[in-house]
Amino acid sequence: MSGSNVWSRSRERLRVFPELLSQCAGEAAVYGKCVAASTTGKQELKKDLCAKEFEVLKTCFTNAARKRIR
């Protein structure tokens, strides 16, 4: 397959993933801590337990992605 196609564009997006995530290190840490706490604490890990923290992370990530495209 030559030229740009959905697979090469997909791979390119994934390639910049770590760079974008590094711009949201704080938000990622907060989310990570929330999930980690559930593995040791009394609360069992279930869906959307850390939804608030994840939304913050996702917003940061999406903004970083948008900034990069410009």
Binding site for another protein (CB under 8 A): 14, 17-18, 21, 25, 27-29, 31-33, 35-36, 38-39, 45-50, 54, 57-58, 61
Q: Which one, 17 or 67, has the nearer CB to another protein?
A: 17
Kindly state the tokens that stand for 24.
């949201």
Q: Report the nearest approach of another protein to the CB of residue 2 (Å).
A: 14
Nearest to 55 by CA among 36, 30, 33: 30
What's the closest the beta carbon of residue 50 comes to another protein, in angstroms?
6
Residue 3 Ramachandran class (φ > 0 left, ψ -120 to 50 alpha, else beta): left
Closer CB to another protein, 4 or 39, in the complex: 39
Q: What is the DSSP letter of 43?
A: S
